[in-house]
Chain A
């Protein structure tokens, strides 16, 4: 047991926790972060071995339910067509993310005003813009200025290479007169702040052995620790405790040996992602908060948003060098991003092109789709497929619906006996219509680019990378969990800074916005420190 009371206790060392820890370090407050995972060793990442493709089905798999790592907690996603994908380590899910790093559009913060659906955020793009810029410098964002889909923005590094594949698809978009642009990517395309430049390894989504991808274990954390923040790994928080005054006073957690520990704190910050955060709050029940901490609104866990994904793939006649280059970062299109009701749905989506498949993934795709038979004709069929595929994922905007939610599973527990989360989620009719539209348009652009055959998968089942909305932000305590700067309405010294606080989801990857919010909230904490507990 520790008798020390820290000034700030952060739970979770992923995208948000790292950014906030770094920002608060300059205050000289005593900042401690507890993380259930451990530091990763880049020398052990899959791209260093011949079995690099197969390890995405094993210890670097997307689902914590099948990955088998001791630091993972199980998630019951049997009542959802989309399975949760996450990672537990210093760096959190940035270890596995593709590093596609777009910002929200200005209109994404005003969905109710513009389109009459969901709710407006209590903050806007202009307020977050300096934090997006700061985050671009801290993470090292590569991109190209001048994209007409966005206001002018700071992009410190040159874009990731287009390669043959990017040029091929770019020509397809041009043929249709559709928007496209090199992706904003959190990848050091040149040596940057001590990070080695990207050498186009390919499998960013199983960790970057080069250290070029901006996972927060190589960006924010080294700097935060140098500036005095303490990061304690293999510590799984069971619950946040409250005193008689209704303020959070610390946490109970299990250390790496499974022993229960207590950590006291003046202020608690939750950064456990859109599933882990409601799980922790719902597990933190007390006499003052019998329905879970900070849950007087009844909204903790509700309004869960994923991004329904589609994947559209084309087979081309020529070689595309698709196994080279950052797998998830090449070009993107926001031709269908903003609402046009003539399409049959409200809001929109982003196309993000993928690089091609490696040798093993090609064989397995050929096996599962029947394109590469075993026996006679195998080699001819394989060579007609290998390095001739290019595809796109499509990120559809999800809208908040209270019935989509995270609860506690009545039976399932993690290795410490802590109740596990259960996902209740169904796709809306709007999402179904959007998926149908994006598959048709995706096939159209691949054909325009020269694909001789296309096929699609929608919704993509293992695509629950983006976890949002389960502790939403707002000014009304009856209709939101945190205020406009991340402070819980019900507990004045408790903050939430991850994707849980999103009011709406936009149609882009959320990490950049999560971190910009964390940096903004850190500044608000400092500005309001004098009267934080009044």
Chain B
């Protein structure tokens, strides 16, 4: 854990597990899971920038730790997929602010990551400076409109 990190290494590991539940790897292996993509660092930055997110995530991870512990030894990642979903469903009741706040930031950061864009068939770059080609289109589609009388009143 670095000096300025908000989360301990255990919490980071749990968070990565939660992120992989929110966006899991695709079954065909084309798209990575959000935890696997390393979005924990982005979430920690978002916690720094978003006042409401910080306590929601911190309290959510603490509650998650307790729920996992109550199931026996091991951490969140060591649970079966079904157990992990069960924990998150319980957490949704116990800490209602946790998942909604987290999901917004996970979705936002996941879909701006170059590796994800590439896997979706997009170029892994911002729009500028290369831009995009776009067809002018078939302006003859306007022929029936051109034939109409004037629509405006004087």
Contacts A48-B126, A174-B141, A375-B21 given: A364-B134 contact, CB under 8 Å?
Answer: no
Which B residues are in CB contact (< 8 Å) with A154? none
Which residues from chain A contact B149 at a C-beta distance below 8 Å?
Answer: 148
Closest chain A residue, CB of each to CB of B100: A367
CB distance from A53 to the nearest CB of B (A): 7
Binds B, one of A157-165, A285-293, A509-517: A157-165
How many residue pairs between the two chains, A and B, have CB atoms under 8 Å in the bound complex?
A: 159
- Determine if B66 is an interface residue (Cβ-Cβ < 8 Å): no
A162 touches B151 (CB 8 A): no
Taking a contact as CB atoms under 8 Å apart, the answer to whether A150 and B153 are in contact is: no
Least CB distance, A382 to chain B, in whole angstroms: 8
Interface residues as binary, B138-149 with A (CB distance below 8 Å gives 1, 0 otherwise): 110110111011
Q: Given the complex, which residues of B lie within 8 Å of A123, measured CB to CB?
A: none
> Quick one: given A53-B112, A161-B135, A162-B136, are A148 and B146 in contact (CB under 8 Å)?
yes
Q: Confirm or deny: A49 has a beta carbon within 8 angstroms of a beta carbon on chain B.
A: yes
A202–B127 touching, CB < 8 Å: yes
Q: How far is the CA of A359 from the CA of B130 in the complex (A)?
A: 18
Given the complex, which residues of B lie within 8 Å of A360, measured CB to CB?
Answer: 107-108, 111-112
* A105–B112 CB distance below 8 A: no
Q: How large is the interface on B (under 10, 10 to 19, 20 to 34, 35 or more residues)?
A: 35 or more
Chain B positions within 8 Å of A410 at CB level: none
Whether the pair B134, A324 counts as a contact (CB closer than 8 A) is: yes
Contact B24 A364 (CB under 8 A): no
CA distance A148 to B148 in the complex (A): 7
CA distance A267 to B125 in the complex (A): 50
Check B145 against A148 for contact (C-beta < 8 Å).
Answer: yes
- B131 closest partner in A (C-beta): A199
Closest to B31 in A: A379
- Taking a contact as CB atoms under 8 Å apart, the answer to whether B137 and A167 are in contact is yes
State how many angstroms separate the Cβ of A198 from the closest Cβ of chain B. Answer: 8
Shortest CB-to-CB span from A454 to chain B, Å, is 22
Task: Please indicate the chain A residues that have their CB under 8 angstroms from the CB of B141 in the complex.
Answer: 167, 170-171, 174
Residue A117 at the B interface, CB < 8 A?
A: no
The answer, yes or no, to whether A448 is at the interface (CB within 8 Å) is no
- In the complex the two chains form, is A170's CB within 8 Å of B142's CB? yes
A50 and B134 contacting across the interface, CB-CB below 8 Å: no
Say which residue of B111, B131, B148 sits within 8 Å of A200 (CB atoms).
B131
Interface flag for B56 (CB, 8 Å): no
Given that A174-B141, A375-B22, A378-B24 are known contacts, is A367 also in contact with B128, CB under 8 Å in the complex?
no
Query: Does A337 reach chain B (CB closer than 8 Å)?
Result: yes
Contacts of B131 in A (CB 8 A): 198-201, 210
Cα distance A52–B149 when bound, in Å? 43
Interface flag for B6 (CB, 8 Å): no
Give Cα A485–Cα B23 distance, bound, in whole angstroms.
60
Residues of B within 8 A of A (CB): 21-24, 26-27, 31, 85, 99, 103-104, 106-108, 110-114, 116-117, 120, 122, 125-139, 141-142, 144-146, 148-154
- Residues of A with Cβ closer than 8 Å to B? 45, 47-54, 105-107, 114, 144, 146, 148-151, 158-159, 161-164, 166-167, 170-171, 173-174, 177, 179-182, 198-203, 209-210, 321, 324-325, 334-335, 337-338, 359-360, 362-364, 366-367, 372, 374-376, 378-379, 383, 386
Q: Could you show 15 A-B contacts with beta carbons less than 8 Å apart?
A: A47-B127, A50-B126, A51-B112, A106-B154, A148-B148, A159-B139, A161-B134, A162-B138, A162-B139, A170-B142, A174-B145, A201-B127, A359-B112, A367-B103, A374-B22
